[in-house]
Amino acid sequence: MVTQLAKKTYTVDEYLELEVVSDIRNEYRNGEIIPMTGGTPNHTEIAVNLLSILKITLRGKPFRLFSADQRLWIPAVKIHTYPDVMVAPKPLEMQDRRTDTITNPCFIAEVLSKCTQNYDRSEKFAAYRSIPIFQEYLLIDQYRIHVEHHVKTDVNQWLFSEYDDPTVTISLQFVDVQIQIADLYDNIDFTGG
């Protein structure tokens, strides 16, 4: 006879206490703590490429730019997560009683991994859409040239575009910037990772 152990459910406060002393980043999903895996060289470089483009573009504009170390709280679905790239307008809105967790991103990008791509496209995107100010989502494949771009066009309406051509230019809507797909994949080695 196999005995199944019950999963421990954590409160938000318990998670935050554990996260402050944790050696790894963990996502919080409605009471469950899920360890986040480390990234591959391609994953990291694609995120850095996008961060570099956005850092230059956003200079002097009323936005803050964040990498995967910045925690996001999505209260409507009780999720804490660490998007690969995130932009929020100034002033930042923070989780109640926190100075390390934002709540108001307008743009999020995720670099897709084999183990997270389905979640990033479905439940995680649904969670992000519950953020009132959120308006643009970029998913970048790290194993081949492929980018998925979602732009909010109205309440409950999103426009989806996808690109496989490195010569194509994407227009981000939250700020006037054009990004050539090839620039996202600069220095990426698809043969070894």
Report pLDDT digits (tens) over 72-98.
Answer: 999 999 999 999 999 999 999 999 999
What local confidence, expressed as pLDDT, does residue 6 receive?
Answer: 58
Determine the pLDDT at residue 192: 67
Residues 30, 11 contacting (CB under 8 angstroms) = no
Task: Decide if pLDDT at 1 tops 60.
Answer: no
Q: What is the rounded CA–CA span in Å between residue 112 and residue 138?
A: 10
Distance CA 149, CA 127 (A): 17
Could you give the residue ranges of the DSSP H alpha helices within the chain?
Answer: 12-21, 41-58, 117-121, 123-129, 181-184
Q: Give the pLDDT of residue 11.
A: 93
Q: What is the mean pLDDT of residues 113-129?
A: 95
Q: What is the mean pLDDT of the chain?
A: 94
How far, in Å, CA of 40 to CA of 96, rounded? 34
Return the ∠ at Cα 117 (arms to 23 and 67), rounded to 5°: 45
pLDDT at 54: 98
Question: DSSP assignment, residue 13?
Answer: H
Does the pLDDT of residue 4 top 90, yes or no? no
Give the C-alpha separation, 39 to 148, whole Å.
Answer: 20
Q: What is the pLDDT of residues 38-67, one digit of tens each?
A: 789 999 999 999 999 999 999 999 999 999
pLDDT greater than 60 at residue 104: yes
Q: How confident is the model at residue 23 (pLDDT cuts 50, 70, 90)?
A: confident
> Which tokens sit at 173?
């809507």
Kindly report which listed range (46-50, 69-73, 159-163, 188-192) carries the lowest average pLDDT score: 188-192
Q: Residue 7 pLDDT more than 90?
A: no
DSSP bridge partners of 86: 66, 108
Q: What is the CATH number of domain 39-184?
A: 3.90.1570.10
Looking at residue 39, what is its pLDDT? 82
Distance, CA of 155 to CA of 134 (rounded, Å): 11
User: Please, are residues 124 and 137 in contact by the beta-carbon 8 Å criterion?
Assistant: no
